[in-house]
Structure formats: structure tokens, C-alpha cells
Amino acid sequence: MNGKNLKGIVIKAQAGIYNVKIENDNRIIDCYLRGRLKRDNMTEDGKYMFTDPIAVGDEVLIALADGQKGAIEFINERRSKLSRLASGTIQVEQVIVANADQMIAVISAKLPKLKTRLIDRFLILAEAGSIDPVICINKMDLLDDSEKIDLYRQMQLYEHLGYKVIYISALKGDGLEFVINTLRGKLSAFIGQSGTGKTTLLNALIPDLNSLTKDISHKTRKGKHATTSVQLYPLDFGGYIVDTPGIRELGLWDIWKEDMHLYFPEMKLYLGHCKFYNCSHISEPECAIRNAVKNGDINPARYDSYVKLRTNVSREDKE
């Protein structure tokens, strides 16, 4: 090693190799993780704390070897993270993206069917990781006027709660200016089910996406971009997009069921007003939140989402 550490950001992580873009430089270096950093991310009984201790978006210091390869020497503390429960039987955290400013949840208006419970999970995921959420409803061109009215009415609930909602058709190019204004100058993580049009949206925002991907692959001697990996791309108008694979399962990580109500902003007004201090807001008498649902002050569908998540928080929705 040459002894000089270089600052960089991880733009791709796959199979133990990390592509790091050097700060104020066009170089992309293939790096591996120092053994001591791997050990630092293990429990005392030798179990891994994460599926991978490095995530796309991590800011790191690397040392070069022969100018071609590098070793990650230090990982900066994360400002935010987008995490989920890793698939499989072992309870372990999978950090999808690190240091994102916002999460863009790409939701299909139709094909696949819009599911508000999945939106609720995305919102919890963002808040738990200290990331601002944006709901991006795609494929609006598939709806007739009546269906659009119903959708707007359905999404008013989220807008009234303070969440930003954008309506677009990536295929037609409708509403892209709203997406661009939202992304400009920020590091944004795109997340969504398979089939929601996320790739179409990315291609509309980054016209040279294919050539950019090939360029990165050439520099790092990797294969072409695959939807099974997470990758960061710069935006011509300022900022970065982190592309994530289409999600089929979304398990919440590090969310205690006793704290689930904290992730539903409409419930916060009623906390502390129940008869029992440890009220689950599901079956106890004289529950302020259940009364608010009965009185129409809390949306029944959102409450139903809360109940399902509260009673089954460690499980994953298979979409």
C-alpha cells in the first residue's frame, strides 16, 4: 500500500468487491474490505451483524495497491440508512442504501395493483432510517378519468399526513419535471416492487444509462449492470440516484412492535390518552386511538395496516 488514503463513495457492492468512486476524480477502484473491519461488524459469538457491512452510498477511505486495486480502511459514520430484514431464516440486517437524503417509493397505479399496506411499509422503512420519503405513483397513463379520481382521493390521505406524492407516467414522460425537481442536488434511493416501471423511469432521467453502465463495467472489469445489484448513478442536473432491485419481500428491521404507533403520525396526537399506559391499541377498552378510528379521525385502512404490522411485524409481505 502507498500509505495515502483516498476519500470515496461506494457506487456498487457485489460478492465482496466494492466499486469506489474517488472524490473529485473520475477513477473507480475495485476494493476489498479489511479483515479487521469485517471483525468489527461481528457479534462476540462470531455471527454477522449485517448481510454486508458495506452498502452503496457509504463514504470510505481506501488505500491503493499498484494503482489498480484498493482496500477499504475506514467507513464513515452513516447519516441515514435504508434497511430491511434479510431474506432467509437468520435474523440479520440488510442495509440497502447508506447516506441517502430521500427514498423514492415507485408505486404502480395499475399492473401491478397499488397496495397501500406496502406504501405504509415503505414509509416506516424511510422514517426508521432517518430518510425523507416520497411516494411516486407511476403508470398514470393506464387509468381512465374515473380511476384517476379514485386514486387521487386515496392518496389524499398521505398528502394530508404531510407526505409528498408525485403522479407520473415514465413511459409517456408525463410529470418528469416534478421528479427532476425532487431529485436535484440530493442522493435519492429508488425502491419499489418489480414491474412498477422503475427502470423505465431511470432511463427517462438518465438517457445515457446504458452507456454509463457499460463505462462503469469497463473501468471495473465487471459484467453489465444486473437488476440483482444496487448501483449509484450521477445525475446531469445535480445529485445521485441509487437504483435498487425490484422488491418482492419487505421485512421491517429493528422496528419494535411496541413502538409501531410512533411510525403512524396520525396516532401521535392520541398517545398517552388511553386507559392503559402500555395499550396496544388493538383490543383494550377506552383506547384513544380506537375511539379516533370510530369517530373518523383516523383512517380505518391505515389503522388496519397498523394492526397487521403490530401483530406480525417480523414477517415479510410477499408481493
> Are residues 113 and 241 located together in one domain of the fold?
yes
User: If DSSP states are collapsed to H, E and C, what string results for 106-154?
Assistant: EEECCCCCCCHHHHHHHHHHHHHCCCEEEEEEECHHHCCHHHHHHHHHH
> Are residues 174 and 242 located together in one domain of the fold?
yes
> Are residues 182 and 200 located together in one domain of the fold?
yes
> Are residues 52 and 181 located together in one domain of the fold?
no
Of 250, 281, 310, the one marking the end of a domain is: 250
Report the number of distinct structural domains present in the chain.
3
> Are residues 231 and 131 located together in one domain of the fold?
yes
**Pairwise CA distance, residues 219 & 212, whole Å:** 11
Of 201, 225, 250, the one marking the end of a domain is: 250
> Are residues 239 and 172 located together in one domain of the fold?
yes
CATH number at residue 33: 2.40.50.140
> Are residues 18 and 150 located together in one domain of the fold?
no
Predicted confidence at residue 304, as pLDDT, reads: 96
Predicted confidence at residue 285, as pLDDT, reads: 97
Predicted confidence at residue 266, as pLDDT, reads: 97
Of 205, 232, 250, the one marking the end of a domain is: 250
> Are residues 242 and 290 located together in one domain of the fold?
no
CATH number at residue 293: 1.10.40.50
> Are residues 152 and 239 located together in one domain of the fold?
yes
Which set of grid coordinates corresponds to residue 91? 435474523
Helix (H, G, I), strand (E, B) or coil at 225: coil
**Pairwise CA distance, residues 4 & 23, whole Å:** 14
> Are residues 110 and 246 located together in one domain of the fold?
yes
CATH number at residue 193: 3.40.50.300
The model's pTM is: 0.87
DSSP state of 27: -
Angle at 155 between CA 150 and CA 160, to 5 degrees: 130
Helix (H, G, I), strand (E, B) or coil at 251: strand
Predicted confidence at residue 7, as pLDDT, reads: 96
Which set of grid coordinates corresponds to residue 66? 499498484
Which set of grid coordinates corresponds to residue 24? 473529485
Predicted confidence at residue 50, as pLDDT, reads: 75
Residue 112, preceding peptide bond in cis (omega within 30° of 0): yes
One-letter identity of residue 268:
K
Q: For each of the chain's 319 residues, which pLDDT tens digit applies?
A: 445 799 999 999 988 899 999 999 889 999 999 888 877 776 666 666 678 899 999 999 999 977 679 999 999 999 999 998 877 656 788 899 999 999 999 999 999 999 999 999 999 999 999 999 999 999 999 999 999 999 999 999 999 999 999 999 999 999 999 999 999 999 999 999 889 999 899 999 998 887 444 444 445 444 333 345 799 999 999 999 999 887 655 667 778 889 999 999 999 999 999 999 999 999 999 999 999 999 999 999 999 999 998 988 544 454 4
Predicted confidence at residue 70, as pLDDT, reads: 94
> Are residues 179 and 303 located together in one domain of the fold?
no
> Are residues 129 and 241 located together in one domain of the fold?
yes
**Pairwise CA distance, residues 285 & 103, whole Å:** 38
Q: Provide the domain limits for residue 46.
A: 5-77
CB 115 within 8 A of CB 305: no
